[in-house]
A and B are shown apart, each in its own frame.
Chain A
């Protein structure tokens, strides 16, 4: 599968609910990156020293998804390198050289699976060419073993090191022309390899963005208005300036767009920057800072008001029609029975454990940046625009990143560091406090859904009406707050209507791991369970029938669902009070996942998630199996964690300030997780996101099985439940 950037945008837009486009809502650069395999050169990715060391470049940001290990494995496999001798080096940002360099949309695997294997294969071809010429034998008579070209007929061989200097003078073959290995011959792909940064992580090496030190650097904190976009009227500059270690106290006027639909990258928020010799000095000085804020238009917003308004809007005709088929309203009036329910979910914050940070150094008209961004190319555009600098004057280094989850697809911390270093003329590290991070995220948007399903006399689903009350203006949505016309079960029900109405919101929203899907799976799969229950059908059988196998997309979802049923013993589950199993499935980010949760609900509505079964289809090959298992386990923990979390607004301010208000799942709450990949004849796709969405409805459906109580509002506390 080869994907150009435009196809990628279209695909992710489709598969993640029309949302991924929001990640890329900046104006296109004059010269867009060219990620097509034809333009990549082995020279950019591979160095072989005459001493035998092989260095492979890791092209994309490492945010914990494992690409710093996995992508070089693709190259090493096809060049037939000995993985034990391979050194991995993080690439700087150079999309003309490396193709698209970002971590988002679970796209690292699908965009690189083919091109990077071809890069490795082209390198192997060049080494074979040199060896064959030296031996004066046909290239076709040569083979390779790790780090060595062989001529079996004459029992001769060269190491790659012996061939490297001469091979480096060759013009690389066209990537589309090089043969690729038969997967049965893989030595690296499909075998588990531990993370290349494990030694650094376990010994405390300075490998994260927060660890960057540049000589002469100052550390900065930026105090922003508790209400999004509020402006500074006045502040006690002289007092702060006099505190120990303080070098600069600056007003940031900001550059926020006035667009009433706040983009996920809306420009710099206003604030007061405090720059000191050390971060703690800056942070301590901030506790003495007194700012009079102009709170601006967001100051009257509250979560309670949004919920009230959503309930009113449910009773009004929807503003936007996303998709219809048949005649849903007539079908509902004629249906033998109608099931109706309203669902709601809150804003969430990303809470990457490493808060946002970037270090920047401006000197002689050029800017050097060390950043944790997931989308450094977009960040470079933003910095160039904000500072009115040519993009080619901006060098970007990618550090290891303490968690992404979509947060770092937004780049304002990078802009802040760039802005400040140019203002003060020395290098600056911007580090947000945890409270800054909670208070100024691009949040997962909350949402409200009103459902009606119509069933005929035989219990067949004949009508599905879904009205989503979301955030935005008219038909323009806040970041990640839209819904795709392909949202399941559209296309599977004869009479179907999917509608939205948007409420104005003056707050930044953006992509959180499996954007859109992480909420839409909860509401859609929970309501479907309600419908199945109302018809007295088994939820698994009911949904298998609904999905069907009419096309490849449906078949893949159908098959993972059927298999998770088998693996979890769904058909033979027993019914005992306080215990239950729930099932759900979802397709997003090119992956297909079905999950079963088993819960115990204790007195006081305390939910213990005992066990989760996962079956996923992400194509023909799991590239790094142990890392893939880890990613699935993390997705399950993350999804269950989300069920107890919320960000709420009161008087325009986010009320949660730190982890004491945001109880992430702990080790003693972690279920046993059984994960399995169903391999299908499809190109491998990504795993950062698609395993997460189904676990939430699997748990709520299990709670229903255990208690007869439906959880229609998250977080769980707002439905009277708690996780233990």
Chain B
């Protein structure tokens, strides 16, 4: 099995896997980072969203060979201790029902706030409508993004 260097959450890992393996399954089953979730395997639901060089991507559609030396950020690496404003806001607003999609939602939202610190409802809807929440927590996701923007502003 070929081995590949992978930069995840600012740590270099050596991974032995077929280069066609989707990043999702490298993260989950080789690096044992279970926060990134499998939902559809066709890039349609967003549960597997991670950041690559700051941009949200579908890790189920990203083969290991395409990652190269780019920097991968997963939900485990969004903050050192779970205190990213989005993580705090998500907990305070009590967004989750089943919670399975929420890592992907938070990663998608983090890219939005990085580019647009105070998005409007319409901008949030535009950016977030590629992520499915089967439980239908969209109202609270929107609210939590606004709250995180406020927390960001204060800090």
Contact = CB atoms under 8 A, between A and B. Distances in A.
A binds B: yes
Contact of A64 (B33, B42, B97, B128): B97
Contact of A208 (B41, B100, B124): B100
Contacts of A626: 94
Given A199-B91, A202-B82, A205-B35, A354 B25 contact: no
B56 interface: no
Contacts of A64: 96-99, 135
Interface string B115-139: 0000000001110111111111111
Contacts of B103: 201-202, 204
Given A202-B106, A667-B141, A667-B142, A659 B136 contact: no
Nearest to A631: B97
Contact of B96 (A195, A278, A635, A641): A195
Interface string A680-699: 00000000000000000000
Contacts of B37: 208, 210, 353-354, 402
Contacts of B18: 244, 284
Nearest to B42: A658
Contacts of B140: 630, 633
A280 B125 CA distance: 33
Interface in A646-697: 658-660, 664-670, 673
A213 interface: yes
Contact of B100 (A205, A403, A637): A403
B44 A280 contact: no
Contacts of B138: 637, 665-667, 670
Nearest to B41: A434
B151 interface: no
Contacts of A199: 82, 91
Contact of A202 (B20, B74, B90): B90
Contacts of B40: 434, 658-659
A64 B34 CA distance: 19
A194 B94 contact: yes
Contacts of A431: 38
A222 interface: no
Given A64-B98, A199-B82, A280-B21, A194 B91 contact: yes
A198 B136 contact: no
A638 interface: yes
A210 B29 CA distance: 11
Contacts of A403: 98, 100, 134-135
A263 interface: no
B29 A279 contact: yes
Given A204-B74, A627-B94, A659-B44, A635 B129 contact: no
B99 A402 contact: yes
A631 B86 CA distance: 21
Contacts of B41: 433-435, 658
Contact of B139 (A435, A664, A670): A670
B29 to A, nearest CB: 4
Q: Which of B30, B44, B97 has the most CB of A within 10 A?
A: B97
A672 to B, nearest CB: 8
Q: Which of A197, A201, A401 has the most CB of B within 10 A?
A: A201
A659 B132 contact: yes
A111 interface: no
Interface string B40-77: 11101101000000000000000000000000001110
A204 B45 contact: no
B32 interface: yes
A208 B98 CA distance: 10
A203 interface: yes
Contacts of B132: 353, 659, 664, 666
B74 A353 contact: no
A198 B96 contact: yes
A668 B131 CA distance: 11
A353 to B, nearest CB: 4
A670 B133 CA distance: 11
B8 interface: no
A352 interface: yes
Nearest to A212: B34
A594 interface: no
B25 A279 contact: yes
A219 B107 CA distance: 27
A289 B29 CA distance: 23
Contacts of A433: 41
B94 A204 contact: no
Nearest to B128: A667
A253 to B, nearest CB: 28
A280 B15 CA distance: 15
A502 interface: no
Interface in A428-442: 431, 433-435
A400 interface: yes
Contacts of B137: 630, 633-634
Contacts of A278: 25, 29-30
B97 A353 contact: no
Interface in B1-26: 1, 18, 20-22, 25
6 contacts: A197-B99, A202-B75, A213-B32, A284-B18, A354-B100, A667-B125
Top 6 nearest A-B pairs by Cβ distance? Answer: A204-B35, A637-B136, A64-B98, A402-B100, A204-B75, A64-B97
Given A208-B34, A667-B129, 6 more contacts: A64-B99, A204-B36, A210-B38, A404-B98, A626-B94, A634-B137
